[in-house]
């Protein structure tokens, strides 16, 4: 389908968090081709371990924040394997609705959260350049942040799940939620487009769509 424009070892630490459960089609313009105490989210040899036993490498990026450099795989409600195939969860991580994306990051432990639109913008511009929205610099950021790129961020082209439950664009796009709302129905997301070899930020992600997730933590909160 054609696109349309649109390790150093660390000490073992255990985080005890207070959890507040968050209650609650289209991919937009594209380019183709009561609280409870929970103990979880420990760091082990520079890896983050979730309650399901999934391990994630983490890295201090140039924005001075710690980012996961693998996609979230935590199995929670309103999260999915692409085409309901377990191996896709292992390779690309799970796909999350906007609400479940925020919950998934919180469940990793104290300080972990879904990055905002500004978090993504600030991080990406260090690897793309200024102005970050120029065509040339969008391409630089894509190349550096994609799997195998110089930033070692390892973004994946995991596709997504549309509002009607259909899956699309595996190995063509990597969609990543941000915590920033556009309105009551939509939120910002980042779009790694393989066809254009560029990283875009879009504000029209339907919250009931399911996208990939990376979580972030401020440097001063890493124990």
Tell me how far apart the alpha carbons of residues 167 and 182 are, in angstroms, rounded to a whole number: 23
- Check whether 5 has a pLDDT greater than 60: no
pLDDT digits (tens, 9 = 90+) for 202-221: 999 999 999 999 999 997 65
Q: Are 96 and 126 in contact (CB under 8 A)?
A: no
Of the two residues 44 and 68, the one the predictor is more confident about is 68
% pLDDT > 70, the chain: 78
Mean pLDDT of 47-56: 94
Q: What is the pLDDT of residue 190?
A: 98
pLDDT at 77: 98
Q: Residue 143: in which H helix or E strand, if any?
A: helix 135-145
CB burial of 186-200 (b: ≥16 within 10 Å; e: otherwise) equals bbbbbbbbbebebbb
pLDDT at 84 over 60: yes
Q: What is the pLDDT of residues 95-123, one digit of tens each?
A: 999 999 999 999 999 999 999 999 999 99
Secondary element (H or E) of residue 175: strand 173-181
Mean pLDDT, rounded, for 4-15: 38
């Amino acid at each position: 389908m054609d696109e349309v424009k649109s390790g150093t070892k660390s000490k073992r630490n255990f985080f005890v968090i207070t959890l507040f459960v968050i209650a609650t089609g289209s991919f937009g313009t594209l380019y183709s081709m009561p609280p409870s105490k929970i103990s979880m989210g420990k760091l082990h040899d520079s890896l983050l371990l979730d309650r399901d036993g999934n391990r994630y490498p983490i890295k201090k990026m140039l924005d001075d924040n710690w980012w996961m450099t693998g996609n979230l795989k935590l199995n929670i409600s309103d999260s999915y394997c692409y085409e309901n195939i377990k191996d896709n969860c292992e390779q690309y991580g799970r796909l999350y609705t906007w609400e479940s994306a925020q919950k998934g990051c919180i469940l990793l432990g104290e300080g972990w959260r879904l990055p905002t639109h500004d978090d993504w913008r600030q991080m990406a511009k260090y690897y793309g350049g200024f102005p970050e929205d120029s065509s040339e610099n969008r391409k630089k950021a894509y190349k550096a942040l994609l799997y195998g790129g110089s930033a070692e961020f390892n973004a994946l082209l995991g596709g997504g799940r549309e509002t009607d439950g259909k899956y699309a664009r595996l190995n063509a796009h990597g969609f990543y939620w941000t915590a920033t709302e556009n309105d009551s129905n939509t939120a910002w997301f980042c779009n790694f487009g393989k066809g254009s070899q560029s990283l875009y930020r879009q504000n029209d992600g339907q919250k009931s769509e399911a996208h990939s997730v990376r979580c972030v933590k401020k440097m001063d909160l890493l124990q």
